[in-house]
Amino acid sequence: MVSIFKASKSVVLVVLFIYTILINLNLYIYPPTIDIQVTAPLSKLVLDALQAISNGQSYILTTIFIMLMLMQAAMLNYLVDRHKLLSTYTSLPAFCYVLLISLFNEHLFLSPPFLANFAVLVALAQVYSSYNNNSFTQPFDVGLAIGIASLFYLPVLILTIFALLALNITRVFNWRESLVSVIGVLIPYLFLGTFYFVTDGFSGFIAAQFGQIHTTITNIPINYPEIIIKATIILFIVMLAMFFFQSHFFKSIVKIRKLLTILVHLLSISILIFLFMEQFSLAPMALLAIPLSIFLAYSFFEIDHKLTAESIHLTLLGVLLLFQYGKTLL
């Protein structure tokens, strides 16, 4: 299966679509219990619209979730291909993203962090586009994307630190660019706050955005064995990626080294988002899935033995199926 996605052909997209449906069938068979209490303005707007479109039908919401997942996977794959992080065109990043999101699909189901990923992917794309570019456009766009993402899920604001670090890697430090990036973060709040102020809803906007943080819309009980096993897998992916990262670091051109280093910063800072949850949830894994899927794709790409790569894939798939259907079989 991994070798199939190393290519970048039209038929691979069809295979990816079918593969995504199959590893998310549990959402059709056992629809998650949905309790939408989200107050973040953009998340509430999107979720209310989806509820209206689907008329509360779980299979429609599941189909929308899968389509959004594939859209994010396509955005990520385009980003990797455009900047040649894997030296050749491949569908591995999309494949790995779908696999990792599906690993936590019940927890991530239309959650605010998952919805925020669209803007986070745009922010990462703008960071990469800023490489050796003296324009102020990219720093502003990076901040703007993070500001918009935080209106879906407030803790994403911590990625402002990532933006400032990443921009200093892609170009020579300039405090004006950092300031422009911070201004970009504030702009969505300025416009949305002005709208609510004019419509006499400013206090409600402040309470909704900065009050209680709702991380997920599904009522999934905490399963400690699941957390331990999946956390071990994520740690393994990171260690595997770091092994290949170190082995090939000095063999790569300077640009690729810097772009991969940026992903390490994104992963490290995204982990801190877990500190801002009022109630524990695995939903913030959606944000970690962006750098993790690129690292996993990088590892699959560098592994010479097909059997080794496929064994890793089957292990991930086995854990995915275990927790999707194991509770029913026991």
Structure tokens that stand for 246 in this block = 């170190």
**pLDDT-based confidence at 35, cuts 50/70/90?**
confident
> Considering the entire predicted model, what is its pTM?
0.94
Q: Which domain covers residue 133, as residue numbers?
A: 2-329
Q: What is the pLDDT of residue 249?
A: 62
Query: pLDDT at position 330, please?
Result: 46
Band of residue 148 on the pLDDT scale cut at 50, 70, 90: very high
What are 236-284's pLDDT values in tens digits? 888 887 787 777 666 667 788 888 889 999 999 999 999 888 788 889 9
The pLDDT, as a whole number, for residue 327 is 63
3-state helix, strand, coil in the chain (%, to 5): 75, 0, 25
Q: For residue 83, give both structure tokens.
A: 């900047």
DSSP 253-316: -HHHHHHHHHHHHHHHHHHGGGGG-SS--STTHHHHHHHHHHHHHHHHHH---HHHHHHHHHHH
Q: Which secondary structure element, helix H or strand E, spans residue 145, and what is its range?
A: helix 137-152
φ, ψ (nearest 5 deg) of residue 132 = 55, 35
- 76-121, pLDDT tens digit by residue? 999 999 988 887 888 999 999 999 999 999 999 999 999 999 999 9
What's the rounded Cα separation, in Å, for the pair 209 and 193?
10
Contact yes or no for 139/181 (Cβ under 8 A):
yes
Q: Structurally, how many domains does the chain consist of?
A: 1
